Chains A and B, each alone.
Chain A
Amino acid sequence: MMLARLAEHLYWHGRYLERAEGLARLINVNAHLNLDLPGRIAPGWEPLVRITGNSELFEALYDDDVGERQVAKFLIADERNPGSIRSTLEFARENMRAARDLLPREVWEQMNGLYLRISEQITGNVSKRRRHESLADLILGSQQIAGMLMGTMSQDYAYDFILIGRYLERADVTTRILDVRADDLLPEQAEEVPAFESIQWMSVLKSLTGYQMYRRHVRTRVAGPDVLRFLLRDRLFPRSAIFCLKALESLLTGLPGEDDSALRATTALMRHLDSARMARLKGEPLSEFIDRIQIELGDIGQHISQTWFQSAPE
């Protein structure tokens, strides 16, 4: 027996915490790219605003000033941005607070501590070095919570809903990070492209803590189609889109109810990923492909909400 309201809180807790972690990873990958690439082909910071889907709000708040400082502030510390790390972390905490009686006490204390610590660290003007430390701290804190839950919480429905939120969001984060790369910055004909291309894909892998695993399991030099295949279709890497969807599929199968629309949407998306031809995916087509994945992930979220959170009088 699980109250729909509490299930919904836990699901959103899972999503928001993963989103905060993903945002930290996204900002890190972009920072690395800007450091590694020569200025004329570096991505700058504008794509991040677009990828997180907050361009209008950003323009309203910062006019046309899209420097690193503005974007970092907007995405990390700005309370006016509901998609900033600060806001997202706060939502993660508030959703967990509402259902804290279902969780081991230490997990709640960890979440609460993480929120308080990070929001204090990112207040005011933060140097690049301190920013990087805070983002690393956030990623670690989020991993700790996941680990504590796995190690101390009974794997009941409450646990399942946290995981459902987490995996759905993680699939979304991984595809968004690919989108940073898809926003093709490299002029096709430039001579130095191949070398830099490799650097870019390495940054993407590193931001997802996936570089070592890629080397171990793919065993080829870092190249676009292989990285795409790894991050979208690898069955063993826990941040690949298909891994998240498989986890989601198994979790959804265990939930009560007749309505299997969320499960069907998940299976359909897995099929789409499996049938995509990676070698052709670059530039515009890659961007479109990722948009399509994200729309389908959104549909899965809709189905989950309708099926389990909105029981109405019959």
Chain B
Amino acid sequence: MIKPPALAVAGAAALVAGSMSPWATFAGFPGKMTLAGFPGGARLFALLLAAGALLFALEVGGRRRAALFAAAGAGAVVAVNIVAITDHGGGLGSVAWGAWMAVAGAGALIAAAWRLPADPERRSERGGGEPAPEEWRRLHPALEVAAIAVALSSVLGAVVWGLEIAESSRFISFLVFLVFASVALHYLGVFSALAVLFARHHRMAMLLGAAAAVAFPFTQQGNAYWIRVFASIGVFAVAAIGLNVVVGLAGLLDLGYVAFFGVGAYVGALFSNAALTTTNIHLPFMVVVILGGCIAAVFGLVIGTPTLRLRGDYLAIVTLGFGEIFRITANNWDGLTRGPNGISGVPDLALGGFDFGESHQLFGITLPGFANYYFVELVLIAGAILVFTRLNDSRIGRAWVAIREDELAAAASGIDTIRLKLLAFAIGAFLAGAAGTVNAHVTTQVSPDSYTFLESILLVAAVVLGGMGTVPGALLGSTALFVIPEKLRAFQDKRLLLFGAALILVMRFRPEGLVPSRRRRRELRSEAPEGVPGLAGASGPPPGGPLS
């Protein structure tokens, strides 16, 4: 224990006092910013980050950078709100003294954090490497599982909390808070510790994660809006896991992937007796899901056979072309797809008298119709995760990773590279197709303009952002890419700009994605230290990776 420097105490005090004081001089700004004595609105986030000041009194690894990021985060929250208040109230005059006090406090905290002794280097801090196993003592298993449960409920809590925020300025403050708090926690080693715990209690963690996902609709008090958003995210999450087989495992950059999703959606619409169907065939939903997957897989094989001899950029360009061919075909084949009008009036699912469009009562909570689709998607996601993880940990998955790492060496090691690449393409297409059939029912209509190049790019971005080759990465990436724009309606036209900025930031500071690949989990059980520290710390995508 060391004594916190006076500067830090003063800064923290100013930040706390500032957060308790008015930030705006006019009523009407979201979050009751004119009231003193309580941290209303975005002020709460600044206050929470001030807790980072506690780090000055604690002798823990990584605290300098953690303290820096906590203080900088508080500053950023205040700055965002000053900009918003100025914009809203018309001039700097509308910013109240509390905000300036908080800025000063954050500044003092940053200065104090800057003067802390440098953190000792841990190899887990660079390049997303695994933490050294000896750093983490084993606690009582029940305690470890409890820690996982706490972590997962925090995630659920953060999601619910974030969704309840209505105003853009406050939501941005929330995002800023989340990002800076995560970085601070990362430097404190919290995420590394959690990664170790998740690896130790793999099954339990999966179970608890599933429980958290199932619990989500029950937190919405019958409000359909966010359940509906998550029902649309669910299908993209399945597709993202499928794309992760193609891009993350086999290293094939597919820029036309959404075409498979579209094939599935058209199959779903054509075989379910939609109001404007052109086929008049009605098959049971279970059959349609499998059929959609299979037809998409066949498309995958048809597209893959001539193109998978190409590598890297060439493959990306050719798949991009095929994606466009699908869209243009769907746009013009009036007899089957009804052209640009698409097929509308896809009915709600009905399984054995259970109508998916109706809301249902469960445990005294009303679950709107979209919750039914959400649960179906959870089952689909579970299936996709099963396929992904089991293949990943088999000779097929190893062969894919080998192809990604060095295709020539893989071939020389006896891997039929063309065949395995086709298999990856087909599995990715199958999952996208299956997800597409569900999507046809969720959106009730299918039209060519839902399957544009942009959607393919978004899916690739979701996978890359979340972390290539990991399931949580694909889930996190697709959630982030579909929830955040939904919240920032005011910035709708700047959506792509924000994605671009986010991607650049992630690629610069965390090239392995938000949730790095667990391929090195085995090292946790290893006694041998890593060989060359310089190499072990080097980060960045592997040479010859999908983007090189």
Q: Do A and B bind each other?
A: no
What is the interface of chain B, defined by CB distance below 8 A to chain A?
none
